[in-house]
Structure 1
Amino acid sequence: MFSMDLAQYGFESRQEFKDAVCALLEVAAKPSLPDLFPILHSLDLLGLLRRDNINATKLLTIFDSIINERLQARSTSSSYDGIATTNKDVLDLLLNLNMKDESSFSQFDMKHLFLSLYIAGMDTTSSTLEWAIAELIRNPEKMEMARFELVKHMKNNDRDINEADISQLPYLHAVIKETLCEV
Protein backbone atom coordinates (compact mmCIF):
# COMPACT_ATOMS: atom_id res chain seq x y z
CA MET A 1 0.00 0.00 0.00
CA PHE A 2 2.87 2.36 0.78
CA SER A 3 5.82 0.75 -1.05
CA MET A 4 7.48 0.27 2.28
CA ASP A 5 7.86 -2.50 4.80
CA LEU A 6 6.01 -1.29 7.87
CA ALA A 7 8.02 -3.75 9.95
CA GLN A 8 11.08 -1.68 8.97
CA TYR A 9 9.37 1.73 9.22
CA GLY A 10 11.54 3.04 12.05
CA PHE A 11 12.36 1.39 15.32
CA GLU A 12 10.03 3.40 17.58
CA SER A 13 7.25 3.64 15.02
CA ARG A 14 7.60 -0.04 14.13
CA GLN A 15 7.11 -1.14 17.73
CA GLU A 16 4.22 1.28 18.23
CA PHE A 17 2.63 0.05 15.00
CA LYS A 18 3.05 -3.60 15.95
CA ASP A 19 1.70 -3.05 19.46
CA ALA A 20 -1.34 -1.11 18.20
CA VAL A 21 -2.21 -3.73 15.56
CA CYS A 22 -1.84 -6.60 18.05
CA ALA A 23 -3.95 -4.77 20.63
CA LEU A 24 -6.70 -4.04 18.09
CA LEU A 25 -6.81 -7.67 16.97
CA GLU A 26 -6.83 -8.85 20.58
CA VAL A 27 -9.74 -6.58 21.51
CA ALA A 28 -11.68 -7.62 18.41
CA ALA A 29 -11.24 -11.30 19.25
CA LYS A 30 -12.45 -11.00 22.86
CA PRO A 31 -16.08 -11.83 23.50
CA SER A 32 -17.91 -9.20 25.51
CA LEU A 33 -21.31 -8.70 27.08
CA PRO A 34 -22.45 -6.20 24.41
CA ASP A 35 -22.03 -9.00 21.84
CA LEU A 36 -24.81 -10.84 23.67
CA PHE A 37 -26.76 -7.84 24.94
CA PRO A 38 -26.47 -4.90 22.50
CA ILE A 39 -28.18 -2.56 24.96
CA LEU A 40 -24.96 -2.65 27.05
CA HIS A 41 -22.81 -1.39 24.15
CA SER A 42 -22.82 2.24 25.27
CA LEU A 43 -21.67 1.34 28.79
CA ASP A 44 -18.30 -0.18 27.71
CA LEU A 45 -18.08 -2.14 30.96
CA LEU A 46 -14.71 -3.74 30.17
CA GLY A 47 -13.16 -0.63 28.60
CA LEU A 48 -12.69 -2.44 25.27
CA LEU A 49 -14.11 0.40 23.19
CA ARG A 50 -11.80 2.92 24.90
CA ARG A 51 -8.73 0.72 24.28
CA ASP A 52 -9.86 0.14 20.71
CA ASN A 53 -10.10 3.88 20.12
CA ILE A 54 -6.65 4.54 21.62
CA ASN A 55 -4.97 1.94 19.40
CA ALA A 56 -6.88 2.98 16.28
CA THR A 57 -5.80 6.57 16.92
CA LYS A 58 -2.16 5.44 17.15
CA LEU A 59 -2.44 3.66 13.79
CA LEU A 60 -4.19 6.62 12.19
CA THR A 61 -1.37 8.88 13.42
CA ILE A 62 1.22 6.58 11.83
CA PHE A 63 -0.72 6.50 8.55
CA ASP A 64 -1.04 10.28 8.68
CA SER A 65 2.73 10.67 9.05
CA ILE A 66 3.33 8.30 6.12
CA ILE A 67 0.92 10.30 3.96
CA ASN A 68 2.53 13.59 5.03
CA GLU A 69 6.02 12.22 4.26
CA ARG A 70 4.83 11.24 0.78
CA LEU A 71 3.25 14.66 0.22
CA GLN A 72 6.48 16.30 1.37
CA ALA A 73 8.52 14.13 -1.01
CA ARG A 74 6.14 14.99 -3.84
CA SER A 75 6.42 18.71 -3.18
CA THR A 76 10.21 18.56 -3.44
CA SER A 77 10.25 16.36 -6.54
CA SER A 78 10.82 17.82 -9.99
CA SER A 79 7.59 16.52 -11.45
CA TYR A 80 6.29 18.74 -14.23
CA ASP A 81 2.67 18.71 -13.10
CA GLY A 82 3.14 18.17 -9.36
CA ILE A 83 1.93 14.60 -9.62
CA ALA A 84 4.60 12.03 -8.98
CA THR A 85 3.99 8.34 -9.53
CA THR A 86 7.41 6.94 -8.80
CA ASN A 87 6.16 4.38 -6.26
CA LYS A 88 3.04 3.32 -8.16
CA ASP A 89 1.33 2.11 -5.01
CA VAL A 90 -2.14 2.60 -3.52
CA LEU A 91 -1.11 5.77 -1.70
CA ASP A 92 0.24 7.31 -4.92
CA LEU A 93 -2.94 6.38 -6.76
CA LEU A 94 -5.14 8.01 -4.13
CA LEU A 95 -2.94 11.12 -3.95
CA ASN A 96 -2.97 11.43 -7.74
CA LEU A 97 -6.75 11.20 -7.84
CA ASN A 98 -6.97 13.74 -5.06
CA MET A 99 -4.60 16.20 -6.82
CA LYS A 100 -6.49 15.89 -10.11
CA ASP A 101 -9.82 16.43 -8.31
CA GLU A 102 -11.07 13.12 -9.73
CA SER A 103 -11.99 11.88 -6.29
CA SER A 104 -13.50 13.30 -3.16
CA PHE A 105 -11.12 11.17 -1.07
CA SER A 106 -9.53 13.37 1.56
CA GLN A 107 -6.45 12.58 3.64
CA PHE A 108 -8.86 11.71 6.47
CA ASP A 109 -10.61 9.17 4.23
CA MET A 110 -7.28 7.70 3.10
CA LYS A 111 -6.13 7.11 6.68
CA HIS A 112 -9.35 5.31 7.54
CA LEU A 113 -9.26 3.23 4.36
CA PHE A 114 -5.70 2.10 5.15
CA LEU A 115 -6.74 1.28 8.72
CA SER A 116 -9.64 -0.86 7.50
CA LEU A 117 -7.57 -2.62 4.83
CA TYR A 118 -4.65 -3.31 7.13
CA ILE A 119 -6.69 -4.62 10.06
CA ALA A 120 -8.92 -6.71 7.79
CA GLY A 121 -5.89 -8.15 6.04
CA MET A 122 -4.14 -9.01 9.30
CA ASP A 123 -7.21 -10.64 10.79
CA THR A 124 -8.04 -12.78 7.77
CA THR A 125 -4.43 -13.83 7.24
CA SER A 126 -4.02 -14.98 10.83
CA SER A 127 -7.38 -16.79 10.74
CA THR A 128 -6.44 -18.53 7.50
CA LEU A 129 -3.09 -19.66 8.88
CA GLU A 130 -4.78 -20.90 12.05
CA TRP A 131 -7.20 -22.89 9.95
CA ALA A 132 -4.37 -24.36 7.85
CA ILE A 133 -2.44 -25.43 10.93
CA ALA A 134 -5.58 -26.96 12.44
CA GLU A 135 -6.09 -28.96 9.25
CA LEU A 136 -2.47 -30.13 9.34
CA ILE A 137 -2.89 -31.19 12.97
CA ARG A 138 -5.93 -33.24 11.94
CA ASN A 139 -3.79 -34.96 9.28
CA PRO A 140 -0.58 -36.03 11.06
CA GLU A 141 0.93 -37.72 7.99
CA LYS A 142 0.64 -34.51 5.97
CA MET A 143 2.00 -32.50 8.90
CA GLU A 144 4.98 -34.85 9.07
CA MET A 145 5.64 -34.46 5.33
CA ALA A 146 5.60 -30.65 5.62
CA ARG A 147 7.79 -30.77 8.73
CA PHE A 148 10.28 -33.12 7.05
CA GLU A 149 10.54 -30.81 4.05
CA LEU A 150 11.13 -27.76 6.28
CA VAL A 151 13.73 -29.50 8.44
CA LYS A 152 15.57 -30.76 5.35
CA HIS A 153 15.59 -27.27 3.84
CA MET A 154 16.78 -25.66 7.08
CA LYS A 155 19.67 -28.14 7.40
CA ASN A 156 20.84 -27.23 3.88
CA ASN A 157 20.69 -23.48 4.56
CA ASP A 158 22.24 -21.57 7.42
CA ARG A 159 19.52 -18.91 7.61
CA ASP A 160 15.85 -18.45 8.32
CA ILE A 161 13.31 -19.44 5.70
CA ASN A 162 12.16 -16.55 3.51
CA GLU A 163 9.29 -16.15 1.08
CA ALA A 164 11.75 -16.69 -1.78
CA ASP A 165 12.43 -20.22 -0.47
CA ILE A 166 8.88 -21.41 -1.20
CA SER A 167 9.89 -22.59 -4.67
CA GLN A 168 12.31 -25.03 -3.00
CA LEU A 169 9.55 -26.35 -0.74
CA PRO A 170 7.06 -27.94 -3.16
CA TYR A 171 4.95 -29.77 -0.58
CA LEU A 172 4.59 -26.74 1.67
CA HIS A 173 3.86 -24.61 -1.40
CA ALA A 174 1.05 -27.01 -2.32
CA VAL A 175 -0.35 -26.89 1.23
CA ILE A 176 -0.37 -23.08 1.17
CA LYS A 177 -1.95 -22.93 -2.29
CA GLU A 178 -4.64 -25.41 -1.29
CA THR A 179 -5.35 -23.49 1.90
CA LEU A 180 -5.71 -20.17 0.11
CA CYS A 181 -7.88 -21.69 -2.62
CA GLU A 182 -10.23 -23.16 -0.04
CA VAL A 183 -10.87 -19.84 1.67
Structure 2
Amino acid sequence: MTRRSLQTGAMALTLSALAGMAEADTAFDHRFTALTGGEISMADFAGKAVLVVNTASMCGYTYQYQGLQDLADRYGARGLVVLGVPSDDFRQEFNSADEVKDFCEVNFSITFPMTDIEHVTGEDAHPFYRWAAVEGGAPAVPRWNFHKLLIAPDGSLAASFPTRTKPEDPEVAARIEAVLPGS
Protein backbone atom coordinates (compact mmCIF):
# COMPACT_ATOMS: atom_id res chain seq x y z
CA MET A 1 0.00 0.00 0.00
CA THR A 2 1.41 3.41 -0.91
CA ARG A 3 1.67 6.38 1.40
CA ARG A 4 -0.89 8.22 -0.77
CA SER A 5 -3.43 5.39 -0.49
CA LEU A 6 -2.88 5.24 3.26
CA GLN A 7 -3.52 8.98 3.53
CA THR A 8 -6.60 8.70 1.31
CA GLY A 9 -7.88 5.79 3.38
CA ALA A 10 -7.31 7.70 6.60
CA MET A 11 -9.14 10.72 5.17
CA ALA A 12 -12.07 8.50 4.14
CA LEU A 13 -12.21 7.03 7.64
CA THR A 14 -12.14 10.49 9.15
CA LEU A 15 -14.85 11.76 6.79
CA SER A 16 -16.94 8.67 7.49
CA ALA A 17 -16.66 9.24 11.25
CA LEU A 18 -17.48 12.91 10.83
CA ALA A 19 -20.52 12.15 8.68
CA GLY A 20 -22.14 10.45 11.64
CA MET A 21 -21.50 13.47 13.83
CA ALA A 22 -22.78 16.20 11.47
CA GLU A 23 -26.32 17.09 12.43
CA ALA A 24 -26.86 20.40 10.64
CA ASP A 25 -28.39 21.11 7.27
CA THR A 26 -26.60 24.40 6.57
CA ALA A 27 -23.73 26.46 7.89
CA PHE A 28 -26.27 28.75 9.51
CA ASP A 29 -27.29 26.03 11.98
CA HIS A 30 -24.06 26.55 13.98
CA ARG A 31 -22.90 28.71 16.85
CA PHE A 32 -19.45 29.64 18.09
CA THR A 33 -18.19 31.24 21.27
CA ALA A 34 -16.87 34.68 20.34
CA LEU A 35 -13.23 35.57 21.00
CA THR A 36 -14.41 38.49 23.13
CA GLY A 37 -17.03 36.44 24.96
CA GLY A 38 -20.66 35.93 24.11
CA GLU A 39 -21.84 34.00 21.12
CA ILE A 40 -21.59 34.16 17.35
CA SER A 41 -24.64 32.63 15.73
CA MET A 42 -24.09 31.76 12.11
CA ALA A 43 -27.85 32.31 11.68
CA ASP A 44 -27.14 36.03 12.07
CA PHE A 45 -25.26 35.82 8.75
CA ALA A 46 -28.12 34.19 6.80
CA GLY A 47 -28.52 35.98 3.47
CA LYS A 48 -24.85 36.99 3.42
CA ALA A 49 -21.73 35.36 2.04
CA VAL A 50 -19.38 34.19 4.80
CA LEU A 51 -15.68 33.39 4.45
CA VAL A 52 -14.74 31.17 7.40
CA VAL A 53 -10.99 30.86 7.96
CA ASN A 54 -9.13 28.82 10.57
CA THR A 55 -6.35 31.11 11.75
CA ALA A 56 -3.18 30.92 13.81
CA SER A 57 -1.07 33.72 15.23
CA MET A 58 2.36 32.09 14.98
CA CYS A 59 2.23 30.56 11.51
CA GLY A 60 4.14 31.31 8.34
CA TYR A 61 0.78 32.25 6.80
CA THR A 62 -0.25 34.67 9.55
CA TYR A 63 0.37 37.56 7.12
CA GLN A 64 -2.92 36.46 5.48
CA TYR A 65 -4.77 38.28 8.27
CA GLN A 66 -4.12 41.49 6.32
CA GLY A 67 -5.65 40.06 3.15
CA LEU A 68 -8.66 38.83 5.11
CA GLN A 69 -9.17 42.27 6.64
CA ASP A 70 -8.87 43.77 3.14
CA LEU A 71 -11.62 41.41 1.90
CA ALA A 72 -13.84 42.37 4.83
CA ASP A 73 -13.29 46.05 4.04
CA ARG A 74 -13.76 45.61 0.29
CA TYR A 75 -16.89 43.43 0.31
CA GLY A 76 -18.45 43.99 3.73
CA ALA A 77 -20.94 46.60 2.53
CA ARG A 78 -22.00 44.21 -0.25
CA GLY A 79 -22.77 41.37 2.16
CA LEU A 80 -19.54 39.50 2.93
CA VAL A 81 -18.66 38.50 6.48
CA VAL A 82 -15.16 37.22 7.20
CA LEU A 83 -15.12 34.99 10.27
CA GLY A 84 -11.79 34.04 11.85
CA VAL A 85 -11.63 30.77 13.77
CA PRO A 86 -8.36 30.57 15.75
CA SER A 87 -7.16 27.00 16.16
CA ASP A 88 -4.19 25.32 17.76
CA ASP A 89 -4.74 22.06 15.88
CA PHE A 90 -1.45 22.66 14.07
CA ARG A 91 0.37 23.90 17.21
CA GLN A 92 0.76 27.54 16.14
CA GLU A 93 -1.77 29.45 18.21
CA PHE A 94 -1.54 31.24 21.54
CA ASN A 95 -2.95 29.60 24.65
CA SER A 96 -5.68 32.12 25.40
CA ALA A 97 -8.36 34.10 23.63
CA ASP A 98 -6.99 37.32 25.16
CA GLU A 99 -3.55 36.71 23.60
CA VAL A 100 -5.12 36.05 20.20
CA LYS A 101 -7.33 39.13 20.45
CA ASP A 102 -4.44 41.40 21.43
CA PHE A 103 -2.19 39.99 18.70
CA CYS A 104 -4.81 40.50 15.99
CA GLU A 105 -5.71 44.03 17.10
CA VAL A 106 -2.13 45.24 17.53
CA ASN A 107 -0.58 43.65 14.46
CA PHE A 108 -3.41 43.65 11.91
CA SER A 109 -6.19 45.96 13.22
CA ILE A 110 -8.68 43.13 12.73
CA THR A 111 -12.30 44.27 12.83
CA PHE A 112 -14.02 41.14 11.50
CA PRO A 113 -15.56 38.74 14.03
CA MET A 114 -13.43 36.00 15.52
CA THR A 115 -14.39 32.94 17.50
CA ASP A 116 -12.72 31.53 20.55
CA ILE A 117 -9.94 28.98 19.92
CA GLU A 118 -11.57 25.90 18.35
CA HIS A 119 -10.65 22.49 16.97
CA VAL A 120 -11.08 22.37 13.20
CA THR A 121 -9.97 18.80 12.43
CA GLY A 122 -10.67 15.30 13.63
CA GLU A 123 -13.34 13.98 15.93
CA ASP A 124 -12.98 16.97 18.27
CA ALA A 125 -13.64 19.43 15.43
CA HIS A 126 -16.25 22.10 16.03
CA PRO A 127 -19.62 20.99 14.60
CA PHE A 128 -19.34 23.60 11.82
CA TYR A 129 -16.13 21.94 10.59
CA ARG A 130 -17.68 18.48 10.85
CA TRP A 131 -20.59 19.76 8.74
CA ALA A 132 -18.19 21.29 6.18
CA ALA A 133 -16.25 18.01 5.92
CA VAL A 134 -19.44 16.15 5.11
CA GLU A 135 -20.65 18.80 2.66
CA GLY A 136 -17.38 19.38 0.85
CA GLY A 137 -15.41 16.20 1.40
CA ALA A 138 -11.62 16.20 1.73
CA PRO A 139 -11.10 19.63 0.08
CA ALA A 140 -13.15 21.22 2.87
CA VAL A 141 -11.07 19.71 5.68
CA PRO A 142 -8.30 22.06 6.85
CA ARG A 143 -4.87 20.54 6.36
CA TRP A 144 -3.15 23.61 7.78
CA ASN A 145 -3.89 27.09 9.11
CA PHE A 146 -5.67 29.68 6.95
CA HIS A 147 -7.84 27.19 5.08
CA LYS A 148 -10.82 29.13 3.72
CA LEU A 149 -14.44 28.01 3.41
CA LEU A 150 -16.89 30.19 1.47
CA ILE A 151 -20.51 29.93 2.57
CA ALA A 152 -23.25 31.09 0.19
CA PRO A 153 -26.15 33.27 1.40
CA ASP A 154 -28.37 30.16 1.59
CA GLY A 155 -25.94 28.49 4.04
CA SER A 156 -24.46 26.00 1.56
CA LEU A 157 -20.75 25.44 1.11
CA ALA A 158 -19.86 27.35 -2.07
CA ALA A 159 -16.08 26.85 -2.20
CA SER A 160 -13.00 25.90 -0.24
CA PHE A 161 -9.53 27.30 -0.69
CA PRO A 162 -6.36 25.71 0.65
CA THR A 163 -3.89 27.55 2.84
CA ARG A 164 -1.62 28.59 -0.01
CA THR A 165 -4.45 30.41 -1.79
CA LYS A 166 -4.07 33.96 -0.55
CA PRO A 167 -7.12 36.08 0.26
CA GLU A 168 -6.16 38.48 -2.55
CA ASP A 169 -6.06 35.69 -5.16
CA PRO A 170 -8.35 36.57 -8.11
CA GLU A 171 -10.09 33.18 -7.77
CA VAL A 172 -11.13 34.03 -4.21
CA ALA A 173 -12.51 37.41 -5.30
CA ALA A 174 -14.35 35.82 -8.25
CA ARG A 175 -15.99 33.17 -6.05
CA ILE A 176 -16.95 35.76 -3.43
CA GLU A 177 -18.44 38.07 -6.05
CA ALA A 178 -20.41 35.16 -7.53
CA VAL A 179 -22.19 34.48 -4.24
CA LEU A 180 -22.63 37.99 -2.88
CA PRO A 181 -26.29 38.86 -2.31
CA GLY A 182 -27.78 40.33 -5.48
CA SER A 183 -25.14 38.78 -7.76
Q: Is the pair's TM-score, using the shorter chain for normalization, greater than 0.5?
A: no
Q: Which structure has the bigger radius of gyration? A: 1
- TM-score w.r.t. the length of structure 1 is 0.24
Instruction: Specify which structure has the higher proportion of helix.
Output: 1
Q: Whose relative contact order is higher, 1 or 2, with alpha carbons under 8 Å and at least 6 apart? A: 2
- TM-score w.r.t. the length of structure 2 is 0.24
